[in-house]
Structure 1
Amino acid sequence: MGEKTQQTDTYEQTESKSAGFCSKLQRCPKPHGFTASVITKGVLRLLLFGVVWAVTGPACFPGQNLFGLVVLFLSAVCGGELISVFRRNNTPAIPPLLGMLLAGVVLRNVPYITDSVFIDQKWSSALRNIALAVILTRAGLGLNAAALRRLKSVCVRVAVGPCIVEACTVALVGHFLLDFPWIWAFMLGFVLAAVSPAVVVPSMLLLQSDGFGVQKGIPTLLMAAGSFDDILAITGFTTCLGMAFGTGSTWMNVVKGVLEVLTGVLAGAAGGVLMHFIPSEEQSDVVLQRVCVLLGLCVFSVFGGHAAGLGGAGGLCTLVMSFIAGLSWSEQKAPVAAVVGRIWNVFQPLLFGLIGAEISISSLSVYTVGLGVATLCVGLLVRVLVTFTVVLYAGFNLKEKIFISLAWMPKATVQAALGSTALDMARSAGDKQMQYYGMDVLTVAVLAILITAPIGALAISLTGPKLLQQHTPIQHTQDQSECVSTPDVDGLVSKL
């Protein structure tokens, strides 16, 4: 009995000490707000590097591939967060992707750091292609069939007119200024012709939340038209890509490009129909399984298209597949799109960081940069004028027409996703001349991001409150319910 009593007393004393320690620990002050966020993110990033080093060992030492990838990813994330600090009245004046891109450029061009941050070309190409598959999947899921049926003619004009005219203008200027072959000139034209949803959509949502332009549906118009503008540019680019790397006569390459488009559409349709049946709805974790199957098929399509010599078909297959899959899921599409959006948050810093790391400032020609900027400026000028023209008789006043024209300038996401695709294919083919063209396309695409993304975002945030009419919350709600025929367009298109 005495021993049991002694053990009980010892146990109670231990419990009392533990309770006292826990009580003191709970009374310790905890970091809050910005400080807590900085500490948490810092610990997570150190932990990421530590885990990779612990698992791979010497493969994560400076100068090795994994070390370069981890440092690039962390630097791109930090660059995006630093850019996000510059805000004006909660409006993102400069998009974070610009900081991600600059982080890659810095790592590639700063002495000593460049030697330590080595990234294998095959890894870089593979990761960029995966990021391309993810962003195209988001684009397909972001489309809404109801919006497609109900879009007014002005939305079609805004989506198609500026894109086609700018692509043709850039192709014409690029052929004579940059000495590109016609097919490469049109490839550059379609790369530059796409508007950036990553810049336009968040800015439109902020203006819409404050009631600017809601009565005439301007934010909804631009967000919906941006989706179709991007798909048109991607389709044109993939068609030209197939023709550029085809063998044989010009007409055979044209036929091959058309066949690639048809192959991509048919394969995507088949994959989308398959996604309607697999996985079935009664399975557990159906959202996670749908995401895994969809992304797996999309990544396979992109890489399989390159392996089969049909580089242009993979992107279209991904777009069509994700669109048809989302169409068959109906209301159940939203959670799948949300998970894909989370995955994009991981690949976005990698994509823009890797694109920036491809640019070596010392190897750039002042002549090429100057002509590239001139080509870009001519294309932008034509785009603004064409956009103003297509909305002349759409019921907007002069200020609203000017705002729509300025808001249709930013370029970023599609340029980053497509800009390096031709260069990667040229490297795989071992063609030095095509590598030269591919590097020029990538250089002009990077210049387009650096110039138009911040200028476009600033133009939207500064001119929106001055050029658009603002409405009270009551009027905002009433007008929005009357003018927007598809209430879910904003949320779905914003997933681009």
Structure 2
Amino acid sequence: MLLAGFALRNLPGINQHINVIPVVSACLRNTALTIILVRAGLGLDPEALKKLKGVCLRLSMGPCFSEACATAIISRFTLHFPWHWGFLLGFVLGAVSPAVVVPSMLMLQDKGFGIKKGIPTLLVAASSFDDILAITGFNAFLNITFSTGPVYQTLLKGLFEAIISVIIGVTMGLFCRYFPSKDQKARHWQRAGLILGLSILAVIGSNRLGFHGSGGLTAIMLTATSGSKWSKEKAKVENIVAKAWEIFQPLLFGLVGAEVSVQNLESDIIGTCVATLSMALLVRIMVTFFLVSFTDFSIKEKIFVALSWIPKATVQSHPSPVARQKSRQLVMAQSTAVLGPLALETTRSLNTPHLEAYAKTVMTMAFLGILITAPNGALLIGLLGPSILSKEEIVNDSSA
């Protein structure tokens, strides 16, 4: 699906007939991503997550920070980036893709792979925190690069987003545990509609309010909290959400693939960009392996976790508050902006042409990251999971 979207966007003779309205594309991608996050929340194993809370926290922060730092150092020598541009690029590349990781983990979980040690639950939960960290880091260095305000406010805002997301998600989850009431007919349909509607509202609403990246965490907390007390109805709700995912899955992956435009790639530096991306990715894999070394995972399972943590895709974000004040154009485009092109849009809106070369390179690296890691990461997870992870029989009872 990723490759199909990429082909439709870039093949001559076909691409001129493809016209996707950006705002519609953003809404569809947000809705599809929300549905898979709802599935992730329903599929979380609270006991496994409690057992792995330490490694979950490490995976939420360590790989993203390490790849950002490695990218900054490597790009300093390969691309001759200033330090602040290097870290800005690093946080663009440091964001893992829930759109790739979560469906792949749920596929393995549904077949019984890795559930004994909670590996799918671990990676699903950590991916949401990883994105908040990446977006916060990007906005912080965007502020540094364009001198748009104090950095500590951006960092505090990221921490505030995570805390508020958890509180709101748990609160709405507690509400959904008991409503609608037991006397309602077809209550599983009502519950499915309620959690999907509230989760989509959380994701799209948080973006509109400026709390970027927090909506996904809210959706996971909402569904995990509510579903933990639904007993036998939980399986019925999961089936309904799974049917919705079958409809939106090709839309999500196809539109993500269509985000990569060959015309936007700077051909003269592609080789250097691929080398920089590869070295930074190698650092990420090694750090991830090290961070899960303090668990009871086997060597093969540690390798699987490290390789599962490489897919990247379009992580949606909006301009920083100061950038929105300075550029009406960015305000109009906020619902479709992603981290890669956002640096270039900000450069042009603030009339800083001397920085445009750096911004174009950031965008090129972002697109190459999607093109290289998203399909290959999904392929690695799909191939290695069944052969590496232990399999448990799935029992279709009230605890399923």
TM range (shorter): 0.7 to 0.9
Partner residue, 1:61: none
**Aligned 8 A contact 1:127 1:351 in 2:** yes
**Greater mean alpha carbon deviation, residues 386-395 or residues 105-114:** 386-395
**Greater mean alpha carbon deviation, residues 270-279 or residues 243-252:** 243-252
Partner residue, 2:307: 409
Q: Which residue, out of 409, 427, 432, partners 2:345?
A: 432
Partner residue, 1:454: 379
Partner residue, 2:26: 125
Q: Is 1:256 aligned with 2:164?
A: no
**Aligned 8 A contact 1:166 1:380 in 2:** no
Shift of 1:128: 0.8
Query: How does 1:139-218 map onto structure 2 within 5 Å?
Result: 139-149=40-50, 151=51, 155=52, 159-161=56-58, 164-176=61-73, 177=75, 179=81, 180=85, 182=87, 185-191=90-96, 196-200=101-105, 202=107
CA distance in 2, matches of 1:330, 1:235: 31
Shift of 1:205: 6.7
Shift of 1:287: 0.9
Task: State the one-letter code of the partner of 2:199.
Answer: C
Shift of 1:103: 0.7
**Aligned 8 A contact 2:293 2:302 in 1:** no
**Aligned 8 A contact 1:420 1:442 in 2:** no
Task: State the one-letter code of the partner of 1:119.
Answer: V
Partner residue, 2:230: 329
Q: Is 1:349 aligned with 2:270?
A: no
Task: State the one-letter code of the partner of 1:410.
Answer: S
C-alpha distance 292-458 of structure 1, shift in aligned 2 (>3 A)? closer
Task: State the one-letter code of the partner of 1:450.
Answer: P
C-alpha distance 283-350 of structure 1, shift in aligned 2 (>3 A)? same
Shift of 1:343: 0.9
SS at match of 2:317: helix
Q: Which residue, out of 110, 129, 143, partners 1:232?
A: 129
Q: Is 1:298 aligned with 2:211?
A: no
CA distance in 2, matches of 1:447, 1:226: 20
CA distance in 2, matches of 1:424, 1:131: 22
The answer for unaligned runs of 5 or more in structure 2 is 321-329, 348-358
CA distance in 2, matches of 1:360, 1:130: 23
How many residue pairs were aligned? 357
CA distance in 1, matches of 2:13, 2:266: 23
Query: Higher helix proportion, which one?
Result: 1
SS at match of 1:165: helix
CA distance in 2, matches of 1:250, 1:394: 35
Shift of 1:170: 1.5
Partner residue, 1:267: 168
Q: Is 1:422 aligned with 2:317?
A: yes
Task: State the one-letter code of the partner of 1:432.
Answer: E
CA distance in 1, matches of 2:99, 2:133: 10
C-alpha distance 353-185 of structure 1, shift in aligned 2 (>3 A)? same
Task: State the one-letter code of the partner of 2:373.
Answer: A
**Aligned 8 A contact 1:194 1:411 in 2:** no
Identity of aligned residues (%): 28
SS at match of 1:134: helix
Partner residue, 1:312: 213
C-alpha distance 122-443 of structure 1, shift in aligned 2 (>3 A)? farther
Shift of 1:166: 2.4
C-alpha distance 172-407 of structure 1, shift in aligned 2 (>3 A)? closer
**Aligned 8 A contact 1:128 1:354 in 2:** yes
C-alpha distance 376-346 of structure 1, shift in aligned 2 (>3 A)? farther
Task: Give the TM-score of the pair, scaled to structure 2.
Answer: 0.74
SS at match of 2:260: coil
**Greater mean alpha carbon deviation, residues 292-301 or residues 183-192:** 183-192
CA distance in 2, matches of 1:329, 1:344: 21
CA distance in 2, matches of 1:342, 1:157: 34
Shift of 1:407: 5.5
Partner residue, 1:111: 12
C-alpha distance 356-391 of structure 1, shift in aligned 2 (>3 A)? closer
**Aligned 8 A contact 1:165 1:382 in 2:** no
CA distance in 1, matches of 2:288, 2:4: 33
Task: Give the TM-score of the pair, scaled to structure 1.
Answer: 0.61
CA distance in 2, matches of 1:164, 1:376: 19
SS at match of 1:310: coil
Shift of 1:245: 7.7
CA distance in 1, matches of 2:301, 2:229: 37
Task: State the one-letter code of the partner of 1:268.
Answer: G
Shift of 1:289: 0.8
